[in-house]
């Protein structure tokens, strides 16, 4: 029972964690990225569309990463290089993603709402027979490669940001761009590369959303998860470990909500849970910050 | 930021450029999916103005202008209101509740319902502004999270406690005819909702052009620090602007409920996406009120044309949504071409 809950939490938090990592990198580079929601949606769509065409999960994930990185390029070029407003571009990208995926769903597949196809299969999970019932270990095992990749990325980004010269340069660019430029860092090139990389990460998040526990694409299936990722970046103060913690909390809220729904609580109420809890967490953090300031 | 200091001529050039670029890019998308872009655009253009098209465009303009102005007055003062959906829902529900359950006679009940919607929508947005001012939670994020909460809450309320059991739909009872807003005034093709929205639009335009408020808001949007040095109380202004933006969104919800749908049906207020289209219209117009109105009517026509195109050619009408987003993205890329070096 507890194993099942933990396992579900780890599944539910993964897309948000991947998207939040993308958001954190952009935040560190000084680009406010609110297009996570739209990019995730594009990733989910491309993953499922590629699966329908080729039936290969590996190809699906790769093309999701690639296409989402391309989709992020307006933010990379417009926001980082040309001085466009990243908020406007972010809003535009989110709405473009919602419109484009719905349009292509109808124009290519003749479907409205949900696309299911026998060729679309969920990503394979690493199940080790005999260990599934061992407490905690069983919950940690039995996920797909993207889940483990997301955990690996927590540590990779932690080392990259705080233990390497490139990470130091990136943080410098985000905090004092003029000083970083004076030190010889090419600010806009760094930002462009990071935003494109973040696009690829969002592609992974979308692929996990569409091919992780389910194997389908539904209109607007991200349902605000990209925004929760934006909040997770704020809650975790753009620190990989803090973000992982925030995403764990979100996954827990989501999983408990699903459980309560099974107990007969109306799903309209449980749907609110992740948003209400993220809001409460931000309020809590804000209050703590206020207390600190007044001391 | 968004109300960038461009002179009118280069602003107009930038907007025309982005529309043309979006039409070309949208044509590419249509062409890649195997349809003929020219016939698609022809159907959209015909559908927007021919036959019932003009009436439908006008009817759709009312809520769209409202949501676009709600976004624009916030943008003008430097606030990005992403919570229009939630404010519209809370306003619409407040109007429906007053119209259904408050025992005052006919017209007074409609007026009270509108007032309730304005207060409810305004307070809902004000709450998000308070979170920004006191706890530093960005208004953009707080208002959006509140939107998701409002969606779940209203959905629950109309599905369970407030539901009309006689219909198979998750919706409230029907509003009595006395409390509805007339769809025709003196048998003219003008609805009460249109008149209310026209009055609101005029007030906003006049205030923006010659009101002290309007000037102070614009100044804050352009340079908040300068405005503060000049004696603007930023905290009070943020609260006021957020309240007014939310109040307008709430009013739109009420106009839709009392003037068109006559009951609160789960999902019906949000399905057309007025909030987001409105936001895009406001961004396209760079938050100038008059230009925002023009842009909203343009988007309304585009959407009506899209539905007609879907009926004629069977391609998803959501293509017009793609076009709107492309226009905004091309406009945001404007600095490439129009930046003065």
Per the domain annotation, does A200 fall within a domain?
A: yes
pLDDT score of B2 more than 50: no
SS3 assignment, position B64: helix
- Domains of chain B (ranges plus CATH)? 8-338 (1.10.3470)
Token code pair at residue B147: 């939107």
Query: Is A293 contained in some domain?
Result: no
Residues 6+ apart with CB under 8 A from A125: A142, A143, A144
The reply to whether residue A103 touches residue B319, judged by beta carbons under 8 angstroms, is yes
Task: Please give the mean pLDDT across all residues of chain B.
Answer: 89
Select the residue from B135, B307, B317 to test the A interface by mutation, using most A Cβ atoms within 10 A. Answer: B135
CB contacts of B141 in chain A (<8 Å) are: 227, 230-231, 234, 282
**Domain carrying residue A44:** 2-222
- What's the half-sphere exposure (Cβ side, CA atoms, 13 Å) at A49? 20
In a domain, A166, yes or no: yes
B40 within 8 A of B316, measured Cβ to Cβ: no
Give me the total of CB pairs closer than 8 Å, taking one residue from chain A and one from chain B: 144
Take residue A130 and report the two structure tokens written for it: 């005999």
How many Å lie between the alpha carbon of A4 and the closest alpha carbon of chain B? 27
* A268 neighbourhood in chain B, CB within 8 Å: 152-153, 155-156, 159
Res. A180 pLDDT band, cuts 50 70 90:
confident
Total of domains in chain A: 1
For residue A104, tell me if it sits in a domain.
Answer: yes
Name every chain B residue with its beta carbon within 8 A of the beta carbon of A35. none
Tokens 């017209």: give the residue: B107
Tell me: the pLDDT tens digits for A1-29?
788 888 889 989 999 999 999 999 999 98
B336·A82 Cβ contact <8 A: yes
Smallest CA–CA distance, residue A130 to chain B, in Å, is 41
Domain assignment of residue A162, yes or no: yes
Mean pLDDT of chain A: 88
On chain B, the residues whose CB falls within 8 A of the CB of A225 are none
pLDDT tens per residue, range B69-123: 999 999 988 899 999 999 999 999 999 999 999 888 878 999 999 999 999 999 9
* Closest residue to A89, CB basis, from B141, B316, B332: B332
- Give the per-residue pLDDT at B217: 83
Across the range B235-264, mean pLDDT stands at 94
Q: What is the mean pLDDT of residues A162-188?
A: 86
Q: Which residues are CB-contacts of B74 (< 8 A; sequence separation ≥ 6)?
A: B80, B81, B241, B242, B245
Choose the closest CB to B152 out of A95, A271, A278: A271
Note whether B339 contacts A89, CB cutoff 8 Å: no
Give me the count of residues in chain A: 295
Q: Are B289 and B204 contacting, i.e. CB atoms less than 8 angstroms apart?
A: yes
In a domain, A174, yes or no: yes
* pLDDT value at residue B169: 87
Nearest in space to B302 (alpha carbons), one of B25, B47, B17: B47
- Cβ distance A107 to B2 less than 8 Å, yes or no, reads no
- The residues, any chain, with a CB within 8 Å of residue B215's CB and separated by 6 or more, are none
Collect all residues of chain B within an 8 Å Cβ-Cβ radius of residue A115: none
pLDDT tens, residue by residue, B166-225: 888 899 988 888 888 888 888 877 889 999 999 999 999 998 888 888 888 888 888 888
Check pLDDT > 50 for residue B1. Answer: no
Q: What is the pTM of this model?
A: 0.91
Q: Check CB contact under 8 Å for A275 and B276.
A: no
- For residue range B51-63, list pLDDT tens digits in order: 888 889 999 999 9
Whether A233 has a pLDDT exceeding 90, the answer reads yes
Report the C-alpha gap between B317 and B325 in whole angstroms. 14
Checking if the pLDDT of B271 tops 90, the result is no
Nearest chain B CA: its distance from A287 CA (Å): 6
User: What is the pLDDT, as a whole number, of residue A263?
Assistant: 85
CB contact under 8 A, A88 and B2: yes
Contacts of B103 (CB under 8 A, 6+ apart): none
Contacts of residue A260, defined as CB under 8 A and 6 or more positions apart, other chains included, come to A270
Q: Which of B80, B140, B276 sits opposite A95 (nearest CB)?
A: B276
Name the residue among A277, A213, A288 with its Cα closest to residue A247: A277
* Chain A residues with beta carbon closer than 8 angstroms to that of B307: none
What residues of B are in contact with residue A108 (Cβ under 8 Å)? Answer: 33
Q: What pLDDT digit, counting tens, does each position of A86-95 carry?
A: 888 899 999 9
Q: Is this prediction's ipTM beyond 0.95?
A: no
Structural contact between residues A46 and A63, judged by C-beta atoms closer than 8 angstroms: yes
pLDDT over 80 at A83, yes or no: no
Q: The tokens 């194997």 sit on which residue?
A: A215
Nearest CA in chain A to B327: A92
A203 domain-assigned:
yes
Mean pLDDT of B319-334: 88
Residue B185: what are its φ and ψ, rounded to 5°? -110, 125
Tell me if A33 is assigned to some domain.
Answer: yes
């Amino acid at each position: 029972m507890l194993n099942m809950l933990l396992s579900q939490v780890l599944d539910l938090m993964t897309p948000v964690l991947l998207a939040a990592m993308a958001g954190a990198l952009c935040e560190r580079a000084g680009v406010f990225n609110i297009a996570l929601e739209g990019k995730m949606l594009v990733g989910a769509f491309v993953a499922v569309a590629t699966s329908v065409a080729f039936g290969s999960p590996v190809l699906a994930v790769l093309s999701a990463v690639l296409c989402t990185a391309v989709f992020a390029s307006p933010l990379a070029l417009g926001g980082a290089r040309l001085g466009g407003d990243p908020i406007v571009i972010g809003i535009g990208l989110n709405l473009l993603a919602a419109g484009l995926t719905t349009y292509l769903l109808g124009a290519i597949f003749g479907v409205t709402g949900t696309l299911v196809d026998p060729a679309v299969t969920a990503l394979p999970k690493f199940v080790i027979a005999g260990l599934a019932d061992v407490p905690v270990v069983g919950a940690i095992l039995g996920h797909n490669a993207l889940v483990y990749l997301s955990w690996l990325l927590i540590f990779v980004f932690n080392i990259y940001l705080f233990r390497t010269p490139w990470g130091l340069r990136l943080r410098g660019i985000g905090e004092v761009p003029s000083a970083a430029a004076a030190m010889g860092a090419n600010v806009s090139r760094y930002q462009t590369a990071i935003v494109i990389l973040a696009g690829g990460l969002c592609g992974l998040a979308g692929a996990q959303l569409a091919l992780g526990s389910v194997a389908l694409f539904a209109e607007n299936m991200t349902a605000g998860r990209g925004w929760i990722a934006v909040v997770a970046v704020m809650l975790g103060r753009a620190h990989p470990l803090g973000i992982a913690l925030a995403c764990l909390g979100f996954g827990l809220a989501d999983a408990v909500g699903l459980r309560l729904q099974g107990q007969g609580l109306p799903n309209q109420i449980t749907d609110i849970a992740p948003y209400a809890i993220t809001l409460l967490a931000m309020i809590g953090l804000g209050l703590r910050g206020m207390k600190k300031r007044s001391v | 930021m968004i109300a960038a200091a461009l002179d009118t001529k280069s602003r107009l050039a930038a907007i025309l450029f982005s529309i043309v670029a979006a039409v070309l890019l949208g044509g590419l998308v249509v062409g890649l999916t195997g349809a003929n872009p020219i016939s698609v655009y022809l159907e959209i253009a015909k559908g927007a103005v021919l036959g019932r098209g003009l009436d439908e465009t006008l009817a759709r303009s009312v809520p769209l202008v409202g949501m676009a102005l709600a976004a624009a007055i916030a943008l003008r003062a430097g606030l990005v209101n992403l919570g229009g959906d939630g404010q519209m829902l809370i306003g619409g529900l407040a109007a429906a509740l007053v119209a259904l359950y408050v025992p005052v006679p006919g017209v007074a009940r409609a007026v009270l319902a509108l007032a309730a919607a304005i207060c409810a929508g305004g307070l809902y947005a004000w709450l998000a502004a308070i979170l920004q001012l006191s706890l530093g939670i960005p208004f953009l994020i707080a208002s959006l999270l509140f939107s998701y909460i409002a969606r779940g809450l209203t959905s629950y309320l109309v599905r369970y406690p407030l539901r009309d059991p006689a219909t198979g739909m998750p919706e409230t009872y029907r509003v009595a005819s006395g409390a509805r807003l007339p769809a025709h005034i003196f048998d003219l093709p003008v609805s009460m909702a249109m008149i209310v929205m026209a009055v609101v639009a005029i007030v906003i335009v006049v205030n923006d052009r010659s009101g002290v408020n309007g000037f102070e808001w614009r100044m804050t949007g352009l340079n908040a620090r300068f405005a503060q040095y000049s004696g603007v109380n930023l905290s009070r202004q943020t609260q006021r602007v957020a309240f007014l933006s939310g109040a307008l969104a709430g009013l739109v919800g009420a106009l839709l409920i009392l003037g068109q749908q006559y009951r609160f049906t789960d999902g019906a207020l949000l399905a057309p996406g007025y909030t987001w289209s409105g936001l895009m219209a406001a961004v396209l117009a760079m938050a100038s009120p008059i230009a925002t109105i023009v842009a909203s009517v343009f988007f309304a026509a585009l959407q009506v044309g899209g539905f007609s195109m879907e009926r004629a050619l069977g391609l998803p009408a959501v293509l017009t949504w793609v076009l709107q987003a492309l226009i905004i993205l091309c406009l945001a890329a404007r600095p490439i071409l129009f930046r003065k070096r």
